[in-house]
Amino acid sequence: MFKAVLNIPSAEPKDIRWFYDQYAPMLLGYINGIVQDHQKSEDQLVSILTSFVKDVVLQEKSKLNIWLELRQYAQSKLTLFTAKDHHLKPNQFVNQGKLDLLDDLQKQIFCAVYYHGKSIPYLAAKMDSDENEIRNQLKLSIDKMRRVSGN
């Protein structure tokens, strides 16, 4: 169960099929949350996974948790979508998963951070709130979803 956390691949590190099975569905869900268009998301998935495998996996450069690095990599490749001024409304195209557990404020903060990489100071200014409050709400929202998973 801790295989992913400890970054221990079950197969060869260069096994693309293993990497794809492990991360492609998660990445497509994540990209779709940003791009909000299924066809564009699938195109982006191919492009991002290909370049990530080439730049990071095959070079064995990854030092972080793979999913964390892959998510940040995807975010950096989708600046066209993430750079625009975020409207802070929950995204209807997202496969909600455990997001339904969150109240509106928590959902807004979590989605802005998770999908659009918005910083705490940005959100505090945008929502006319305190940075500590935003940080606290972010932690609460993550804790809520973790509790459901039994952690």
Partner 1 sequence: MEINKIIESGLMETYVMGIATEEEVQKVLSLKKEFPAFKDALEQLEYDIEVLAQSMSIEPPAGTLAKIEHEINEIQRRNQAVQTAEPESRHDKNDQEDKQERYIEVESESNQMRVNKAWKWVFIAVFVLGKVFLASAIYFYLENRQAQEQIKELKIELKQKIR
Q: List contacts with partner 1 (CB under 8 A).
A: 2, 4-6, 16-17, 20, 24-26, 28-30, 32-33, 41-42, 45-46, 49-50, 53-54, 58, 65, 67-68, 71-72, 75, 94-99, 113-114, 117-120, 135-136, 138-139, 142, 145-146, 149, 151
User: Smallest distance, Å, CB 22 to partner 1?
Assistant: 9
Complex with partner 1: residue 5 or 80, whichever CB lies closer: 5
Complex with partner 1: residue 4 or 88, whichever CB lies closer: 4
Q: Give the helix ranges, DSSP H, for the chain.
A: 16-35, 38-52, 66-77, 79-82, 104-114, 120-126, 131-148
Rounded Cα distance, 123 and 30, in Å? 20
User: Smallest distance, Å, CB 21 to partner 1?
Assistant: 8
User: Smallest distance, Å, CB 89 to partner 1?
Assistant: 17
The token pair that represents 151 in the structure block: 């952690």
Complex with partner 1: residue 59 or 84, whichever CB lies closer: 59
User: Smallest distance, Å, CB 128 to partner 1?
Assistant: 19
Rounded Cα distance, 133 and 126, in Å? 13
Helix (H, G, I), strand (E, B) or coil at 58: coil
DSSP-derived secondary structure letter, 53: I
Helix (H, G, I), strand (E, B) or coil at 54: helix
The token pair that represents 139 in the structure block: 């932690």
